[in-house]
Amino acid sequence: MKDTNQISKILIVDDVQLNLDLMKDILSEKEYLIATAINGKSAIAKAKAHKFDLILLDVVLPDIDGFEVCTHLKSNPQTQDIPIIFLTAKKEKDSIIKGFQLGAVDYIPKPFSREELLARVNLHLTLRRTQEELIHSKEMAENSAKAKAIFLANMSHEIRTPMNGIVGMVDILERSQLTREQLEYLDIIKISGENLLMIINDVLDFSKIEAGQITFERIRFNIADVVNEVIKILRYKAMQKNLEMSFEIGTDVPRWLVGDPLRLKQVLINLCNNSIKFTTEGYVHVRVNMIVKNGGNVRLKFEVQDTGIGISPENQCKLFKSFSQAETSTTRKFGGTGLGLAISKNLVRLMNGDIGITSEEGKGAIFHFDAEFGISSLTLSVDESKEIEELIPSDKELKILLAEDNDINQKVAILNLKKLGHTVIVVADGIQAVERFISESPDVVFMDIQMPGMDGVEATGKIREWEKANNRNPRIPIIAITADTLKSDKELFIEAGMDDYLSKPFVMSELIHVINRIYKQQENNHI
């Protein structure tokens, strides 16, 4: 015996009792639950009162015809999704077409055969069940994606908050008076922290790609600057292994492009890191060449060549798969999540490109990918394009309001800000932040996002409302200190009235950079 909830419910509407009895007998053999109606108004009332899976509707009825009944049912949200099959003795083409136009799914001509009735009814009940299952699966997938996005945001915040304490305190300790032995120990902590952060970023980036949270910016950037920054970041790691690290860019490659430089840099860092990891002597070399220029767009080819251990053809197919490395022994010997190349493949695909490798075991490797960018026709002034080799903090002493509920992160921020010569007022939640802002009149506010009582976004809104009500112009810069890394979150902070953001974990140079940027904006506002 079937579960009552799984048995299909059918409403038969016909004014001839003989037809009702015949159809009821035939369909009851399949254990369908059958209800009947002998006129249109009764059919409408029963369809509203009960949840039917299918309606068999005669065209000719004593009160209102089947077409009018169908129109009424299809206009009601409660009954509009019930499939309707017309029962008709009319074989005129116009009558059949009218039925389909009103929303019917099929028709059965009278007189009907037992086999045809069962076949058509079974077909449309099966289609309805399939449709309901698809809708249910879609809802489950959407709920899963939403839960995944929330989990991702929470994980990002929870992981990056303690990492900020580790990275920040190491950065501070490096600039204190330490012995050579202590510096050596600190270097081990720093390298371990950087490796841990790299693993965390890999996992979070992979999760963001899986959850569809990765979005690409389209901003103007200098291709030489991007590649040079990659070399600078990784040169020290290469020097530790006595590897030469260099790059070359084809003379026909446009200098200024439009795209997402951070994501391009991420792919290049992943590939270069991979080459450094598996190379014991020789070099890692980056090349950029033009494939084709088409109007305002250009397709570039990037290559990262190394003199490392190489990889056999049979293992090359494993490289760009998630959580996969060429050999299980690779993880033990060289470490890593096996996500870096999989992430790179997804990022390159989002840049309308492909990624691959050319290699022989024992003869090094060339990782290569192509990507599409816009070409910028604008040029920067000398001052704007000048490369700042070393960040110099502004000599202006600022009164800074710091809103941060985590004790360790408070200490990291206070030590850094005081070392830069600024005065710091500390509060632990958004309510205190608003109160102290009004009473202390700070020059800059550093606002944590997730705080008890009132979060940073709400506190920013309250501050902006107070400034507007009290005619405070220009407004005081508010910088978000956030462990949330999704682009959509950062856009939300700016829309809420914040002027900039600093991602956790941060180091002194990043803190100086954001203060200088705000200070420069203030100077421009006063010009």
pLDDT digits (tens, 9 = 90+) for 167-190: 888 888 887 888 888 887 887 777
- Classify domain 4-112 at the CATH superfamily level: Response regulator (3.40.50.2300)
Q: Please say whether the beta carbons of 237 and 244 come within 8 A.
A: no
pLDDT score at 272: 92
Closest by CA position to 444, among listed 387, 386, 524, 500: 500
DSSP string over 283-351: EEEEEEEEEEEETTEEEEEEEEEE-S----HHHHTTTTSTT--S-HHHHHHH---S-HHHHHHHHHHHT
Which CATH superfamily does the domain covering 219-381 fall into?
Histidine kinase-like ATPase, C-terminal domain (3.30.565.10)
Burial class (CB in 10 A: 0-12, 13-18, 19+), 97: exposed
The number of helices, as runs of H, and strands, as runs of E, in the chain is 17, 17
Stretch 367-395: mean pLDDT:
62
**What's the full length of the chain, in residues?**
527
Q: Of 301, 322, 318, 330, give the one whose Cα is nearest residue 359.
A: 318
288, 302 in Cβ contact below 8 A?
yes
**Same fold? 219-381, 399-526:** no
Judged on CB neighbours under 10 Å (0-12, 13-18, 19+), 304 is: buried
Q: Which of 315, 365, 319 is nearest to 342 (CA)?
A: 319
Task: Give the span between the Cα atoms of 355 and 366, in whole angstroms.
Answer: 11
> Is the pLDDT assigned to residue 199 strictly greater than 80?
no
Helix (H, G, I), strand (E, B) or coil at 254: coil
Q: What is the mean pLDDT of residues 142-155?
A: 70
For residues 385-420, b (16+ Cβ closer than 10 Å) or e, as one string?
Answer: eeeeeeeebbeeebebbbbbbbeebbbbbbbbbeeb
Residue 13 token pair: 């509407």
How many CA atoms lie within 13 Å of 71's alpha carbon, on the beta-carbon side?
A: 7
Q: pLDDT > 90: what percent of the chain?
A: 28
Q: For the chain, what is the radius of gyration of the CA atoms?
A: 34
The residues spanned by each domain of the chain are: 4-112, 219-381, 399-526
What is the enclosing helix (H) or strand (E) of 222?
strand 219-222
Q: Which of 325, 402, 389, 310 is nearest to 357 (CA)?
A: 310
Residue 305 confidence (pLDDT) above 90: yes
The pLDDT confidence band at residue 8, using thresholds 50, 70 and 90, is confident
What integer pLDDT is reported at residue 210 of this predicted model? 63
Residue 164 has pLDDT above 60, yes or no: yes
Q: Centre a 10 Å sphere on the Cβ of residue 98 and count the other Cβ atoms it contains.
A: 15
Asked if residue 206 lies in contact with residue 322, where contact means CB atoms within 8 angstroms, the answer is yes
Distance, CA of 516 to CA of 509 (rounded, Å): 10
Q: What are phi and psi of 288, to 5 degrees?
A: -130, 125
pTM: 0.48
Cα dihedral 199, 205, 208, 210 in deg (nearest 10): -80
CA distance 302 to 371: 8
Burial class (CB in 10 A: 0-12, 13-18, 19+), 514: buried
Residues 413-443: tens digit of each pLDDT:
888 888 888 999 999 999 999 999 999 999 9
For the stretch 438-468, pLDDT in tens is 999 999 999 998 888 899 999 999 999 999 9
Question: pLDDT per residue over 309-360, tens digit each?
Answer: 888 877 777 777 654 444 444 443 444 445 778 888 888 988 999 999 998 8
Tell me the per-residue pLDDT of 16-36, one tens digit each, with 9 for 90 and over.
Answer: 888 898 998 888 888 788 999
Q: What is the CATH number of domain 399-526?
A: 3.40.50.2300
Q: Render pLDDT for 71-120 as a digit per residue (tens, 0 to 9).
A: 999 999 889 889 999 988 766 677 778 888 888 888 888 888 888 889 88
267, 398, 404, 407 from 440: Cα distances, Å: 45, 12, 17, 22
Q: Give the Cα separation of 33 and 8 in Å (integer).
A: 6
Residue 270 confidence class, pLDDT cut points 50, 70, 90:
confident
pLDDT, averaged across the chain: 82
* β-strands 219-222, 256-259 pairing: antiparallel
Q: Which amino acid is at 150?
A: I
